[in-house]
Structure 1
Amino acid sequence: MTEISKQTYIVMERYIEKNRQINKENREVIYLYENMIKTVNKQFALTNVLDISYKSSSTNFGVLYLHTNQGLFSYQLDSDPTDFIKKYNELKRSFSKR
Structure 2
Amino acid sequence: MQFIAKQPYVKVVRQVNALEQKDTEEQRYMYLYEEKIVTKYREFPLDNVMDISYRLTGKKGMLYLHTLKGVYAYIITSSPDQFIAAFKARTHSTTHRD
Query: TM-score range, shorter-chain basis?
Result: 0.7 to 0.9
Map of 1:20 onto structure 2: 20
Q: Tell me whether 1:38 sits opposite 2:41 in the alignment.
A: no
Deviation of 1:2 (Å): 2.1
Map of 2:78 onto structure 1: 79
Unaligned runs of at least 5 residues, structure 2 = 93-98
**Larger deviation: 15-24 or 67-76?**
15-24
Map of 2:49 onto structure 1: 49
Whole-angstrom distance in 2 between the partners of 1:34 and 1:71: 21
Whole-angstrom distance in 2 between the partners of 1:37 and 1:77: 16
**Larger deviation: 35-44 or 13-22?**
13-22
Q: Which is higher, the Rg of structure 1 or of structure 2?
A: 1
Map of 1:65 onto structure 2: 64
Equivalenced residues, count: 92
SS of 1:74's equivalent in the other structure is strand
- List structure 1 runs of 4+ shifted beyond 2 angstroms: none
The TM-score normalised by the length of structure 1 is 0.88
Deviation of 1:18 (Å): 5.9
Structure 1 residue identity aligned to 2:50: L
Map of 2:96 onto structure 1: none
The TM-score normalised by the length of structure 2 is 0.88
Deviation of 1:60 (Å): 1.2
Superposition CA RMSD, Å: 1.1
Map of 1:11 onto structure 2: 11
